[in-house]
Amino acid sequence: MTSRQGFRVELAPTLEQRARLGRHAGLSRVVENFCLEKVKAALEQRMAEKSYGVQEPDLTQVPWSAPALERLWRLEHRARYPWFTEEGLSSRVPKEACRVRAAGFKNFFDFRSGKRKGRKVGFPGWRKRKHGSRFRYDAQTARPHTSRSVHLPMVGKVRTREDMSWLTDRIADGRARVVGSTVCEQAGHWWVSFQLEIDRTDINERRAVSSDAPACGVDVGVKTFATIVDDDGTVTELDAPKPLKAALRKLRRADKAISRKRLGSSNRAKAVTRLARVHLEVAHQRADFLHKTTTMLARSKRAIAVETLNVTGMVANRRLARTISDLGFGEFFRQLRYKAQWYGSSVWAADRWFPSSRLCGACGAINRDLTLADRVWSCGCGLKHDRDVNAARNLLNAMTLEQAAA
Report residue 382: phi and psi, to 5°.
100, -5
Residue 264 lies in a domain: no
Q: Which amino acid is at 232?
A: D
Domain residues for the domain of 235 are: 215-242+286-405
Q: Which amino acid is at 76?
A: E
Same domain, 43 and 80: yes
Same domain, 347 and 380: yes
Which pLDDT value is given to residue 381? 87
Same domain, 43 and 191: yes
- Last residue of a domain, which of 199, 224, 256? 199
What does the pLDDT look like over 305-314, one tens digit per residue?
999 988 888 8
Residue 275 lies in a domain: no
Which is higher by pLDDT, 119 or 86? 86
- Give the Cα separation of 189 and 273 in Å (integer): 10
Residue 112 lies in a domain: no
Same domain, 373 and 290: yes
**pLDDT for 142 beyond 90:** yes
Q: Kindly report each contact of residues 177-180 with a partner whose C-beta sits within 8 Å and lies 24 or more positions away, as own/partner.
A: 177/140, 178/139, 178/140, 178/142, 178/143, 178/144, 179/4, 179/139, 179/140, 180/96, 180/136, 180/137, 180/138, 180/139
**pLDDT for 342 beyond 90:** yes
**pLDDT for 1 beyond 80:** no
Which pLDDT value is given to residue 404? 87
Same domain, 180 and 230: no
Same domain, 184 and 314: no
**CA quadruple 362, 366, 368, 373: dihedral positive or negative?**
positive
Residue 116 lies in a domain: no
Say whether pTM exceeds 0.85: yes
**pLDDT for 36 beyond 90:** yes
| Burial 246-262, CB ≥16 within 10 A → b, else e | ebeeeeeebeebeeeee
Which pLDDT value is given to residue 260? 96
Same domain, 95 and 226: no
- Last residue of a domain, which of 165, 199, 233? 199
Total number of domains in the chain: 2
Q: Are 358 and 385 in contact (CB under 8 A)?
A: no
Same domain, 379 and 313: yes
Residue 70 lies in a domain: yes
**pLDDT for 164 beyond 90:** yes
For residue 173, the SS3 value is coil
Q: Are 126 and 161 in contact (CB under 8 A)?
A: no
What does the pLDDT look like over 97-135, one tens digit per residue?
999 999 999 999 999 999 998 888 999 999 998 888 999
Mean residue pLDDT across the chain: 93
Residue 376 lies in a domain: yes
Same domain, 22 and 170: yes
Report the helix count and the strand count for the chain, using DSSP H and E.
12, 14
Which pLDDT value is given to residue 343? 94
- Give the Cα separation of 182 and 155 in Å (integer): 14
Element holding 164 (H helix, E strand): none
What does the pLDDT look like over 9-21, one tens digit per residue?
999 999 999 999 9
- Last residue of a domain, which of 199, 225, 258? 199
Same domain, 227 and 194: no
How many other β-carbons are positioned within 10 Å of the β-carbon of residue 47? 11
Residue 208 lies in a domain: no
DSSP conformational letter for 62: P
- Give the Cα separation of 276 and 257 in Å (integer): 13
Residue 389 lies in a domain: yes
Q: What is the DSSP string of 74-111?
A: HHHHHHH-THHHHTT--THHHHHHHHHHHHHHHHHHHH
Same domain, 186 and 223: no
Burial status of residue 57 (CB atoms within 10 A of its CB: 0-12, 13-18, 19 or more): exposed
Same domain, 194 and 331: no
